[in-house]
């Protein structure tokens, strides 16, 4: 039950990120989370939005190179040691995290949401579920 992240190529120079957010803003797309990875010349913006397909289409129309990546989203209680406890499961099952980022949200109950990029998201999900963890679906994300 992975969710889709949009990855966008950005040159590492002033205003390129703003050009991207400008396109999303113009189309009323709501961002849930954003993480930036950078090298000296370029970077990748990784974004979780409410309407993934619309977002990819409008970005491509605006000449951005963007694609969809499957990532795992897990909600944890926003308390000290919350992430540590979750990562214990990753360690036990020998799961490597390629990258991750987090955000806090939730309409009724405030939670911490962890987004993980792993090599094989299906295998990883099976391991996590077997340890009693809930991996969020695209629909779950829309509810946040």
Partner 1 sequence: MERYYQPEIECASPEKLKQIQNEKLVKQVRHVWDNVPYYRKKMEEKGLTPDDIQSTDDLYKLPFLSKADLRDAYPYGLLGVPLKDCVRIQSTSGTTGKRVVAFYTQHDVDLWEECCARAITAAGGTDESVCQVSYGYGLFTGGPGLNGGSHKVGCLTIPTSSGNTDRQIMFIMDLSATILCCTPSYAAYLGERFKELGYGPDDIPLKAGIFGAEAWSEEMRHDIEKTLGIKAYDIYGLTELSGPGVAFECSAQQGMHINEDHFIAEIIDPDTLEVLPEGSQGELVFTSLDKEAFPLLRYRTRDICTLTREKCSCGRTHVRMGKPKGRSDDMLIIRGVNVFPSQIETVLINAGYAANYQIIVDRINNTDTLDVQVEMTPEMFTDNLGEIADRQKELVDGLRSMLGLKAKVTLVAPKTITRSEGKAVRVIDKRKI
Q: Please report, as ranges, the residues that interact with partner 1 according to CB under 8 A.
A: 5, 7, 9-11, 16, 37, 39, 41-42, 44, 46, 63-67, 69, 98, 117
Give me the count of residues in the chain. 144
Q: CB 122 → partner 1: shortest distance, Å?
A: 17
Distance of closest approach, residue 27 Cβ to partner 1, in angstroms: 19
Nearer CB in complex with partner 1: 32/46: 46
Which is closer to partner 1, CB of 25 or CB of 37? Answer: 37
Minimum CB distance to partner 1, residue 65 (Å)? 5
CA distance 23 to 126: 36
**Rounded to the nearest whole angstrom, what is the least distance from the CB of residue 38 to partner 1 in the complex?**
8
Cβ closer to partner 1: 27 or 60? 60
Q: How far apart are CA 27 and CA 55, in angstroms?
A: 8
59 or 75: CB nearest partner 1: 59
Could you tell me the CA-to-CA distances from 130 to 101, 123, 134 in Å, in that order? 23, 11, 10
């Amino acid at each position: 039950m992975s969710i889709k992240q949009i990855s966008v190529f950005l040159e590492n120079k002033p205003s390129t990120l703003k050009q991207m957010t400008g396109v999303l803003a113009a189309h009323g797309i709501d961002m849930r989370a954003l993480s930036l990875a950078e090298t000296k010349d370029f970077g990748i913006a990784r974004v979780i939005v409410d309407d993934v397909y619309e977002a990819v289409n409008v970005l491509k129309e605006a000449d951005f190179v963007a694609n969809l990546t499957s990532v795992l989203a897990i909600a944890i209680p926003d308390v000290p040691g919350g992430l540590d406890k979750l990562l214990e499961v990753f360690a036990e099952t020998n799961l490597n995290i390629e990258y991750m980022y987090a955000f806090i949200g939730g309409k009724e109950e405030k939670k911490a949401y962890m987004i993980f990029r792993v090599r094989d998201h299906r295998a990883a999900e099976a391991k996590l579920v077997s340890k009693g963890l809930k991996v969020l679906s695209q629909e779950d994300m829309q509810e946040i």
